Amino acid sequence: MNKADLIDKIAKDAKISKTASGKALDSLVDGVTKALKKGDRVALVGFGTFTVSKRKARVGRNPQTGEQIEIKARKVARFRPGKELAASIR
């Protein structure tokens, strides 16, 4: 399912226009993104939790040449599914 499919599904289920559905989805994504940028976590009960974690700097290898390269430390977004979501896909 891609973004357009999700917008169609939301519009149909909520009985709203696709434009309103698209704005709602964009608002959700924007809200989650801004919260993660601030270092907050976003918990949607039953669905899951979005968090930010830090990866340490490390040494890796260029797969083409085998040469060692340094991979910088960075922040990454993580998602942990909730109980209900995990149970529904088993």
Helix residue spans in 1-89 (DSSP H): 3-14, 18-38, 83-88
pLDDT at 81: 96
pLDDT at 52: 96
- pTM strictly above 0.85: no
Distance CA 76, CA 79 (A): 10
Model pLDDT for residues 20-33, shown as the tens digit of each residue: 999 999 999 999 99
DSSP 56: P
Give the residue among 30, 53, 29, 55 at the shortest CA–CA distance from 41. 53
